[in-house]
Copies of this chain bind each other. A is one copy, B any other.
């Protein structure tokens, strides 16, 4: 009983923390401000998380777990690999350019110790990349692509898909893309990707 409620409260506080951070930056997201916004006591925050860094570390972990779940679900869908790749593309755009990931990347950029950045990479890219590589293997075996290597294909895919969009989101010069823009961009990316890696080299 109580455990569930506490989990819910924790999720609530973490959501509020991100919201505060979104509005006032990482500096402005002090434990006190977060506590006030969440209608919690700062003492509770300190007891639960220890300090600000560990609070955000916790958020990074939750976020990574959620993202991985969504990704695995998309990967396991009973569809041809090419369709899965399209879904993955859209999903990654949505996740990586969404408010949550952007806020966490901002926090990591502000954290001089580099711990947040490390956790973000560990829970994010390092977990995701192998899955993409594996998917590329499936695509290759299905004869959809013929890349120099699965790793190279995964790298190209991510670069063409995300490129510098995430950094532009992080420094605040790019608004969050709409669903329509995401679909459009995923489509364009896939066309380029297949033109780069495809077995069919007719181009255009």
Contact = CB atoms under 8 A, between A and B. Distances in A.
A103 to B, nearest CB: 10
A114 interface: yes
A11 interface: no
Contact of A172 (B108, B170, B201): B108
B171 A108 contact: yes
Contact of A27 (B24, B110, B114, B162): B110
Instruction: Give the oligomeric copy count.
Output: 2
Interface of A (DSSP majority class): helix
A121 B164 contact: no
Nearest to A199: B203
A111 interface: yes
Interface of A: 23-28, 105-106, 108-112, 114, 116-118, 120-121, 125, 148, 155-156, 158-160, 162-164, 166-168, 170-173, 192, 195-196, 201-204
